[in-house]
Structure 1
Amino acid sequence: MNDTYIKPITPLTEEQIAFFREQGYFLYKKGMTEDLIDAFNGHIYDIRNQNLIPDWAVCAKEKRYSVRLFNPHKHDSFSRQLMKHAIVRGALAQLMGKEAVCVQSMYFYKEPGSPGQASHQDYYYIKNDPMTMIAAWTAMEEVVDIENGCLWVMPGTHKLGLLPHGTVKNLEEHESHTDETEGVDTSRQIPVIMEKGDILFFSELLIHSSNKNRSTSRWRRSYVCHYIREDSNVLHREDLRQKYPLY
């Protein structure tokens, strides 16, 4: 660490840390200000609302406000700013015991009518050693609820280890190109209702999902970053090997 290193803040209480350890997730209310979220949403819109879209953000013209932006933190300074947000950095350091580094980011649009993702564990897609990964899922809308496709979590399932994943069964509800957990009754999942600026931290082994956005006019934009402890490494995924420090 260099001479300008500043220790992370400690936003979580011991009770909140204990809740995360027991349940596998924790919802931090109003972790980011509405002004910051509004500015970021506008910035992301501008990236694709131009004639010459950067190569890393290019997609079919008719899908430029629906196809997620994958790993914007690798290319965009504002995306890195949110990736390094003080609340996120501090909470992760408390939960991991050391500084975190970012390995993946995604900005989801999830327009009305779009499908969700079936029940899964993030470790299935991003294996890391030692296992330390935590996601920070930030709500970018006034309200993220059941109607517009909020996340559902299954408390305590991070203690089950990695479960088998197989073909998605309900294609009316969920996108087809992912897999879903098998061998466990996912009907015990509960919805996580969020407001703009709320941050949901959850373990890489927590079973979670989202359903179809059934709203006719409300989007469900979100910014999701995946972090591992600084001494951990991503396995098998060459595209996610690079570590981005939070300080």
Structure 2
Amino acid sequence: MSIQVQSERLNPLTPEQIRCYREDGYLVIKKGCSDDLIDAFNSHIHSIRSSDSMPDWAKPRKGGSAVDDKDRYSVRLFNPHLHDGFSLQMMKLPVVRGALAQLLGDEAAGVQSMYFYKEPGSPGQAAHQDYYYIKNDPNTLTAAWVAMEYTNEDNGCLYVIPGTHKLGVLPHGAVKNLQEHEAWTHEVEDIDLSMEIPVVMEKGDILFFDSNLIHSSTRNRSERWRRSYVCHYIRHDSTIERDDLKKKISLI
């Protein structure tokens, strides 16, 4: 019995999608992941965090410090791809590899992964640019945000300001609305946030966006969760400044 191996790189994006990405700074691939794959990954992550013998790397932490057991399903799982095979394969999805190569002009490498829970009532993150947190040279940083369930304005979807990736890196300061957003982050300054628009996503949709695109999320006002798996990538010839993100994961 022979095993077929994916040898050719996918080219999932049309020229029009690439043009729109260049103009707007983001695009959504509808149903980039099947429901079965999403359900299996959600169950896998839940089994890790619910285990009585949870591995040390998976224990919930804030600011590097361990937190209470009640936070098993609220504090994000940071860089699971470095320890867990399923998380690694989700980072290396063929559709993601292909789309990134089309957008960046060459093969990409993974540098960061985060599994977000965002339980009912939890705050969002104030408007920011990813490059502010993850500086790289040349700047090719791109996010792939996979919706682990239906995401809309009620349960705290992402908001973006189309075209702001063309503005370069803007100053960031203290978060202004602590009722809506987490306090530990920073917020972009000198921008009209009334221009933000929601990105409503079905389970399995994949949102790609530029590192300089201004984006945010709001408080989860629903009784539903808003789980997501977010990975950051750079072109293979870019370098990261942060010591904790220097390891590049080949997508091939």
TM-score over 0.5 for the pair: yes
Q: What's 2:232 paired with? A: 226
Q: CA deviation at 1:45?
A: 0.1
Write the letter of the residue equivalent to 2:23: E
Q: Are 2:86 and 1:78 equivalent residues in the alignment?
A: yes
After superposition, the CA RMSD in angstroms is 1.0
Q: CA deviation at 1:5?
A: 8.9
Q: TM-score, normalised by structure 1?
A: 0.96
Q: Are 2:114 and 1:106 equivalent residues in the alignment?
A: yes
Q: CA deviation at 1:7?
A: 3.6
Q: TM-score, normalised by structure 2?
A: 0.94
Q: What's 2:63 paired with? A: none
Write the letter of the residue equivalent to 1:246: L
Matched position secondary structure for 2:73? coil
Q: Are 2:205 and 1:204 equivalent residues in the alignment?
A: no
Kindly tell me the number of residue pairs found equivalent between the two proteins: 241
Q: What's 2:161 paired with? A: 154
Q: CA deviation at 1:129?
A: 0.3
Q: What's 1:120 paired with? A: 128
Q: What's 1:55 paired with? A: 56
Q: What's 2:142 paired with? A: 134
Q: What's 1:34 paired with? A: 35
1:155-194 equivalences in 2 (<5 Å): 155-194=162-201
Distance 1:205 1:7 in 2: 30
Distance 1:244 1:81 in 2: 11
Q: Are 2:90 and 1:90 equivalent residues in the alignment?
A: no
Q: Are 2:76 and 1:68 equivalent residues in the alignment?
A: yes
Give CA deviations for 1:33-82 in whole Å, capped at 9, x if unaligned.
00000000000000011111111111321100110000001110000111
Distance 1:233 1:5 in 2: 28
Distance 1:50 1:225 in 2: 24
Give CA deviations for 1:194-232 in whole Å, capped at 9, x if unaligned.
0000000000000000000001x2000000000000000
Distance 2:244 2:7 in 1: 29
Distance 1:179 1:33 in 2: 34
Distance 1:126 1:8 in 2: 27
Distance 1:226 1:7 in 2: 23
Write the letter of the residue equivalent to 2:52: N
Distance 1:219 1:110 in 2: 6
Distance 1:146 1:49 in 2: 29
Q: CA deviation at 1:8?
A: 1.4
Give CA deviations for 1:5-42 in whole Å, capped at 9, x if unaligned.
93411000000000000000001100000000000000
Distance 1:61 1:8 in 2: 42
Q: What's 1:238 paired with? A: 243
Matched position secondary structure for 1:152? strand
Distance 2:6 2:207 in 1: 27
Write the letter of the residue equivalent to 2:75: V
Q: Any unmatched runs of 5+ in structure 1?
A: none
Q: CA deviation at 1:186?
A: 1.3
Distance 2:178 2:187 in 1: 12
Q: Any unmatched runs of 5+ in structure 2?
A: 61-67
Distance 2:37 2:8 in 1: 23
Q: What's 2:12 paired with? A: 11
Distance 2:98 2:77 in 1: 25
Distance 1:9 1:187 in 2: 37
Distance 1:29 1:94 in 2: 17
